[in-house]
Amino acid sequence: MPVINGPLLAIESSCDDTACAILSPKGDILAERVLSQTGHAALGGVVPEIAARAHLAALPSLMDDTLTDAGLTLDDIAAYAASTGPGLIGGLIVGSTFAKGIAIARDKPFIAVNHIEAHALTARLPALSGETPAFPYLLLLVSGGHCQCVAVRGIGHYEKLGGTIDDAAGEAFDKVAKLLGLGWPGGPALEKLARKGNPSAVTLPRPLLGRPGCDFSFSGLKTAVARHIAPYGQAALPLQVAADIAASFQRCVADIMADRAENAYTAIPDATALVVAGGVAANTELRTRLEAVAERHALRFIAPPLRLCTDNAVMVGWAALETLSARHDAGYGPSDDVPVAPRPRWPLTEIQPPGPVQP
């Protein structure tokens, strides 16, 4: 696979995590660092302008520390990559411009990476145990900003089978956590509280469950939780009540996800694996339910390690290497993506696969 003659340095800055990673040409992880912004918790969510300024302040030293961890200098880096969309435009501009500037100054290639594609390809990372999944495979992407079911048919070849018609799964977790008086981000706090609760204690709706297709809907579920909490007014919820609501909500989301994964398999029966990625993929109950779906259909189940579920630069670097390899196989060299502008919206279906060899 190696199509560059040295390590690749990747940057991720699409939301509130500033990350840098260095990968070998074959995809071995030489060093990785993630700096999570904590100041947004008091504000109840990510403030884009604050996030962008934090990325700008953190990136130079974060890159230097990552290079030190790898025992390398910028002279050793053969190519650069950065998330260029989708995401918060301020953060995307900061991260991609930072990487582009160094690439231009050192006359090295720059690869623009689609953040969702990076999540989609994480399952093929050599550092993960087991054999790299062959195409096509099913991807369930569940995060704070995205919730979709995708058939991954090849590099640049993606078929969206369904997506959320309102809130993303991670967004629903955060909103329900806020209703329960938990901190932000809400997903980990809600899962911790749910361990103390009874998932059958509260009756909640399961939007779209049992219906054809692979679309998701969580807005009505969030509203139902709010109605259960409303009778308590401004008073703090009793701990057991809050735990039961958290457990019941989490069970609902897992039921919905498993149902949608079943429908996805029906649409792509030649899938080799079921992959779950994105921040919500760190949820233990969700992983367990999806693993059961995969087992029923004799599919390999792949869930990245927790650190690679949330936003990170390792996935960005690997997606860049996969892109370079696909371009090489199509008859192209490591063409430069410096002209590619950051995009707050960049659906997988708009990614252009490498074309045929030009005459």
Are 321 and 8 in contact by the 8 Å Cβ rule? The answer is yes
Range with the lowest mean pLDDT among 15-19, 97-101, 239-243?
A: 15-19
| Alpha carbons within 13 A on the beta-carbon side of 328 | 11
Structure confidence at residue 45 (pLDDT): 65
Residue 311 known to bind ligand: yes
Average pLDDT over residues 263-278: 94
Residue 283 known to bind ligand: yes
- Rounded to whole angstroms, the Cα distance separating 7 from 204 reads 50
Residue 145 known to bind ligand: yes
Pair type for strands 29-36 and 17-23: antiparallel
- Rounded to whole angstroms, the Cα distance separating 191 from 225 reads 15
- Rounded to whole angstroms, the Cα distance separating 306 from 308 reads 5
Could you read off the pLDDT of 280-318 as tens digits, one per residue?
998 999 999 999 999 999 999 999 898 898 899 999 999
- Rounded to whole angstroms, the Cα distance separating 51 from 71 reads 29
Structure confidence at residue 42 (pLDDT): 54
Which tokens go with 199? 């998932």
| DSSP codes, 82-147 | EEEESS-HHHHHHHHHHHHHHHHHTT--EEEEEHHHHHHHGGG-TTSSSPPPPSSEEEEEESSS-E
- Rounded to whole angstroms, the Cα distance separating 24 from 7 reads 4
- Rounded to whole angstroms, the Cα distance separating 240 from 223 reads 20
Are 184 and 44 in contact by the 8 Å Cβ rule? The answer is yes
Structure confidence at residue 330 (pLDDT): 83
Structure confidence at residue 357 (pLDDT): 42
Could you read off the pLDDT of 29-79 as tens digits, one per residue?
999 999 987 655 555 667 888 999 999 999 999 999 999 999 999 999 999
Average pLDDT over the chain, rounded to an integer: 92
pLDDT tier at 336 (50, 70, 90 boundaries)? confident
Q: What is the DSSP letter of 278?
A: S
Residue 141 known to bind ligand: yes
pLDDT tier at 272 (50, 70, 90 boundaries)? very high
Q: Report the share of the chain in percent with pLDDT over 70.
A: 95
Residue 144 known to bind ligand: yes
Residue found under tokens 């260095």: 22
Residue 76 known to bind ligand: no
Domains and CATH numbers, the chain: 8-123+309-350 (3.30.420.40), 134-303 (3.30.420.40)
Three-state DSSP class for 307?
Answer: helix
Range with the lowest mean pLDDT among 132-141, 315-324, 348-357?
A: 348-357
pLDDT tier at 210 (50, 70, 90 boundaries)? very high
Are 26 and 40 in contact by the 8 Å Cβ rule? The answer is no
Residue 174 known to bind ligand: yes
Size of the chain, expressed as the number of residues it contains? 359
- Rounded to whole angstroms, the Cα distance separating 268 from 80 reads 35
Residue 5 known to bind ligand: no
Average pLDDT over residues 218-245: 94
Enumerate residues 6+ apart whose C-beta is below 8 A from 68: none
Average pLDDT over residues 137-159: 91
Structure confidence at residue 310 (pLDDT): 87
**Model-level pTM?**
0.92
Higher pLDDT residue, 254 or 359?
254
- Rounded to whole angstroms, the Cα distance separating 56 from 253 reads 36
Residue 96 known to bind ligand: no
| pLDDT for 359 beyond 50 | no
